Amino acid sequence: INPGRNAPESRAFGPKIELAAGRNTPKNGICAPRNGLVACFFSSLLVIREVSSSDISDFILRQVPTMSPRRAQLVTAALRSFFRFLFQEGELQVNLALSVPSVADRRLSTIPKYLSPDQVERVLGTCNRQTATGRRDYAILLLLARLGLRAGEVVSLQLDDVDWRAGELLVRGKGLLHDRMPLPVDVGEALTTYLRMDRPPCKTRRVFVCMKAPRSGFAGPSTLTTIVRRALDRADLYPALRGAHVLRHSLATTMLRSGASMNEIGELLRHRNPSTTEIYAKLDFDGLRTLAHPWPSVGGGR
């Protein structure tokens, strides 16, 4: 695909992308977060009516290796929906939605990325607790490492979510579900220090706020990704997974290798579906070996 020569025509499809996104239905909708890559694909075309199945395949092959399986599935679904939309609108003579390949998500094919307990402690130890930012980040990392919270759950924590008398934390999880979790001593101490010494006065009820003006809650989970990545860099650790989720995976892995059951891990991580926890079974190498039977000898001896 050679970009540039017909830029006006490719730009003309911007409104169509928005129109398709506006029809956000299972039949032909395109969710807004995926519009960027759909637009990226069409901005590289010479003439929309000359797009071929090979153009689609080339684009997918370039993009998929840079994404998680789930993300790749969302992108291909968006392309499929938009091609179907163009076909229904008469912009294409052939329904190219049928040419968009499917992306397999073999959930149990990839071992989770994790840190050892010693490495987790190294990450925690990189926070400069002589500074306000360091104490805040230390409290954040402890919530991720000790309770396995998701980044979005830490971001959305409210001051009223901490029950100091009961030693509990209200976690606002996925699907608007709320869970109460015990507050470990070291996590409680780190939160107390941050709230008493460092959290600046501001209108927001969020626990964690920006240390520089404007004083507000974090914009989103990506802020925690940055905090975790900086801590990993300081610890000279470079795991394949470098976001907040690496600490969640690490907690589950440590529990599994300490003898915790899948049910116990699922309860701590608040998995609603037991199959979500199955991915960690791949890490129990010793347990898996006990399930492997010796291969029978060639001679069939007993």
pLDDT at 45: 52
pLDDT at 283: 54
Catalytic residue among 84, 135, 150, 206: 150
Active site residue 245: yes
Helix (H, G, I), strand (E, B) or coil at 236: coil
pLDDT at 40: 58
CA 134/CA 129 separation, integer angstroms:
5
Low-confidence residues of the chain, pLDDT below 70?
1-49, 104-112, 175, 273-302
Active site residue 293: no
Which residue in this structure is represented by tokens 């993009």?
A: 63
Catalytic residue among 34, 135, 146, 245: 245
Catalytic residue among 84, 146, 199, 248: 248
| Residue percentage of the chain with pLDDT more than 70 | 70
CA 246/CA 260 separation, integer angstroms:
19
Catalytic residue among 16, 122, 229, 271: 271
CA 268/CA 139 separation, integer angstroms:
19
Write the pLDDT tens digit of every residue in 121-138: 999 999 999 999 999 999
Catalytic residue among 23, 174, 205, 230: 174
Catalytic residue among 114, 138, 194, 280: 280
Active site residue 280: yes
Helix (H, G, I), strand (E, B) or coil at 79: helix
Write the pLDDT tens digit of every residue in 229-255: 999 999 999 887 788 989 988 998 888
What distance lies between CA 120 and its chain's CA centroid?
A: 19
Contact 151, 134 (CB under 8 A): no
In this structure, how many other beta carbons lie within 10 angstroms of the beta carbon of residue 270?
18
CATH number assigned to the domain with residue range 117-286, chosen from the 4 options 3.40.30.10, 1.50.40.10, 3.40.50.1820, 1.10.443.10? 1.10.443.10
Cβ-Cβ contacts under 8 Å for 231 (sequence gap 6 or more): 123, 124, 126, 127, 137, 141
CA 189/CA 143 separation, integer angstroms:
12
The DSSP letter of residue 159 is G
CA 4/CA 46 separation, integer angstroms:
7
- Phi, psi dihedral angles at 290 (to 5 degrees): -70, -20
Active site residue 174: yes
